[in-house]
Amino acid sequence: MSNLKNHSRRRFLAQSGLGLVAFAGMPGFLRAMEGMQGLHGMPKLTPNKASLNFKPDVEFDLFSRSSSVSILPGQQTRVQQYAALLKKGPKETIVDIPGSYLGPLIHLQKGQKVRINLHNKLAEPTVTHWHGLHVPANMDGHPMYVIDPGEILVYEFEVLNRAGMNIYHPHPHEATAKQVYNGLAGALFVHDEEEARLELPSGEYEIPIVIQDRLFDELNQLIYVRGMHDRMTGFYGDRILVNGFPDFKIDVASRAYRLRVLNGSTARIFKLGWDDGTPITVIGVDGGLLEKPEVKPYVMLAPGERLDVWADFSGRNEGSQLVMRSLPFSGVLPKMAERMMGGGMGMMHHNKLPVGSDYPIFTARVTKKVSDSPKLPSQLPKINWHPISATANPDKPVPIGISEGPMAMLLNGRPYKYNDIQDFERIKVNTIQLMEIFHAHGGHGTDSAAASGEHGAEKQSGGMGGMGMMGGMNHGDDDQKGGGQGMMGMGHRGGGMGMMGGMKHGDDDRKSGGQGMGVMMGMGGGMGMMMSMAHPIHLHGQQFQIVSRSVSGDEEADYATVREGFIESGLKDTVLVMPGEKVRIIKPFQDFKGLFMYHCHNLEHEDMGMMRDFLVE
């Protein structure tokens, strides 16, 4: 274990591109990094075994293993991959995707009792999480349950979710992104009677669309994080894969289809739209079907989010095609990174497929004319909404404060640490909680922090004491603007600065951190501005409702490029929070006690520590 730790520290320093000298005068910095390293204090538990009194309806072995697959023409690509072997239950439970590195599709029925035996055939620790499922804490794939190579971890749970599309993927401490990137991920569907009654398109008319981006070298091998900036912004490939395949095409008949879309990228955000301007008809999101279809000009889809799309090709001619694209938008990346990604400005790698540019995702070709098609239902199943008055804390939302800095992405001012539960992270079981996700830095943070009551603001700045450049967050706009302009004179957002401003007001740690960094960057600050970006915030456990979203004035131009792409009329487990945005949610914490994570589903951010636990008790 200590080997692993040292290795990851060395790698971290080497990749940071900042150099050791820069770190020398920065104790706060080093302490912050401590929070990102190793498995600190994470207990090593004996893997759970099958229990005699659990009588599964469905049982399968799930293998995490290394493998090679053909993705691009030529040489095969080394990947990590899930494979499953059904031992009990309906044979439709496991559906392989031939030739893909993606894990098999898993189909479960609400009410089924499921046993999954996870076999770690990798050369490193892993654990699997059922993203979207409401399962007991010890079945949720918390990093504390990682198993070593050769070990088997037994999961047993009853399917309590309503029908919907979920994800299974690894969740080992600080290695989630890399394992997902290497190929470990799959779609898990829950079905129920409400869904069946609607007779939505199924079988060959229901198509999973798992969208991911990858970067390959000349030998067709995957390239991953090349430097600190790849972690700060998240890692972006320049090839779009759907279900594991490049240039994905589907042949369709001229009728309605149900597309089950999942963004399985580690960081890339999509703005999905049809190339001919046909609106997108959405019938479901993360937590299953909406109450009625929504028709949108485009839909935003961040990592971890899902969409249930009604795609009707009726009336289209044989030989015609429709392309789903990612349409242009701006504002999800720090302004500077946005420019560098397109133009290439030293520190950042140029990307042929900048985030927010216009590019194809997949093509549907009409190859068969048919006269009959199912009709889009106008009513879908009812959702059990909770009013704010039903929450345990209508006046005091649980804060989820996002803070961004050059070396750390934090939630509520703290990097992930096992057993580091703050007061406001203790949640009483069987309560419904009002929560507020907001940016805890810059001019905008102030009012949100105030809104979240005592815990928000104080705990955050307290927590940032050791963070060096994370300081500087609660400064006036004037200060920040000065810094932002000084720095390369870019970024209309003026939100910037952070760091140098932070020195004036920070404690000693921050001072040294700020100066060190300022000198090192040789650009007089500007980190806050540099880092303000969008984060897909994911909460484990039950699905939540989105109560309200609001965005501050300076961000409005960018926000206008995405605003119509959000869907609030369904249950969610992941929500994209744009720069300057504040999102209120209502989330139940029923049935299960224990640790449930909340984190950024930009998986590079998650692995940098942008993750915390709620202790439900």
Rg (CA), the chain: 23
602 makes contact, choosing from ligand C2O, Cu ion, none, with CB < 5 to 8 Å by partner type, with Cu ion
Q: Which does 171 bind (CB under 5 to 8 A by kind): Cu ion, ligand C2O, none?
A: ligand C2O
User: Residue count at the site for ligand C2O (CB under 6 A)?
Assistant: 11
Calculated CA dihedral for residues 99, 102, 105, 111, nearest 10 degrees: 160
By CB under 6 A, tell whether 537 contacts ligand C2O: no
597 binds ligand C2O (CB under 6 A): yes
The enclosing H or E element of 437 equals: strand 431-439
306 binding ligand C2O? (CB under 6 A): no
Which residues lie across from 116 on neighbouring strands?
60, 155
Q: Are 177 and 126 in contact (CB under 8 A)?
A: no
Q: Which does 459 bind (CB under 5 to 8 A by kind): Cu ion, ligand C2O, none?
A: none
Distance CA 207, CA 574 (A): 22
Going across the sheet that includes 299-301, the strands are 249-253, 359-368, 321-326, 270-274, 299-301
Q: With CB cut-offs between 5 and 8 Å by kind, which of Cu ion, ligand C2O, none does residue 169 bind?
A: ligand C2O
Could you say which of ligand C2O, Cu ion, none residue 268 binds, taking C-beta under 5 to 8 angstroms by partner kind? none
The only residue of 119, 178, 510, 599 in contact with ligand C2O, by rule CB under 6 A:
599
Q: How far is the CB of 164 from ligand C2O (least distance, A)?
A: 14
Query: Least separation, in Å, of the C-beta of 595 and Cu ion?
Result: 13
Judged by CB under 6 A, which stretch of 95-103, 209-217, 425-433, 594-602 contacts ligand C2O? 594-602
Contacting range for ligand C2O; rule: CB under 6 A; set: 167-175, 212-220, 386-394, 501-509: 167-175
CB of 185 to ligand C2O, least distance (A): 9
Tell the burial category of 373 from Cβ atoms under 10 Å away from its Cβ (0-12, 13-18, 19+): middle
Nearer to ligand C2O, 169 or 510 (CB): 169
Establish if 173 lies at the interface with ligand C2O (CB under 6 A): no
User: CB-wise, 103 or 528, nearer to ligand C2O?
Assistant: 103
Binding to ligand C2O (CB under 6 A) within 113-132 occurs at 129, 131
- What count of other Cβ atoms lies within 10 Å of the Cβ of residue 196? 12
Structural element, H or E, at residue 322: strand 321-326
Q: What's the min distance (Å) between Cβ of 540 and Cu ion?
A: 5
Q: Is residue 304 a contact point for ligand C2O (CB under 6 A)?
A: yes
Q: Beta-strand (E) ranges in 72-151?
A: 77-88, 94-95, 105-109, 113-121, 128-131
Residue 169 touching ligand C2O (CB under 6 A): yes
Cross-strand pairs, 323: 363
Query: Which one of residues 134, 171, 214, 582 is an interface residue with ligand C2O (CB under 6 A)?
Result: 171
Q: Please say which residue, 336 or 411, places its beta carbon nearer to ligand C2O.
A: 411
Number of neighbours of residue 563 by Cβ within 10 angstroms: 15
Q: How far apart are CA 110 and CA 113, in angstroms?
A: 9
Which residues here bind Cu ion, judged by CB under 5 A? 131, 535, 540, 600, 602, 605
Give least dist CB 609 to ligand C2O, A.
13
540 binds ligand C2O (CB under 6 A): yes
Residues present in the chain in total: 617
CA–CA separation, 577 vs 585, rounded Å? 12
Burial (CB count within 10 angstroms: exposed 0-12, middle 13-18, buried 19+), residue 203:
exposed
* Cβ neighbours of 372 (radius 10 Å): 8
- Residue 117 CA to its chain's centroid (Å): 25
Query: Stretches 14-22, 98-106, 394-402, 595-603: which one binds ligand C2O (CB under 6 A)?
Result: 595-603
Q: Please name the amino acid found at residue 250.
A: I
Residue entry with tokens 């940016």 = 439
597, interface contact from Cu ion, ligand C2O, none, CB < 5-8 Å by kind? ligand C2O
CB of 359 to ligand C2O, least distance (A): 25
Residue closer to ligand C2O (CB basis): 416 or 559 = 416
- HEC string for 448-514: HHHHCHHHHHHHHHHHHHHHHHHCCCCCCHHHHHHHHHHCCCCCCCCCCCCHHHHHHHCCHHHHHHH
Give 80 or 602: the residue with its C-beta nearer to Cu ion.
Answer: 602
Q: Which is nearer to ligand C2O, 58 or 597 (CB)?
A: 597
Choose the one of Cu ion, ligand C2O, none that binds residue 178, judging by a C-beta under 5 to 8 angstroms depending on kind.
none
Contact partner, 304, from ligand C2O, Cu ion, none, Cβ < 5-8 Å per class:
ligand C2O
Contact 474, 499 (CB under 8 A): no
Q: Would you tell me which residues interact with ligand C2O (CB under 6 A)?
A: 129, 131, 167, 169, 171, 304, 538, 540, 597, 599, 601
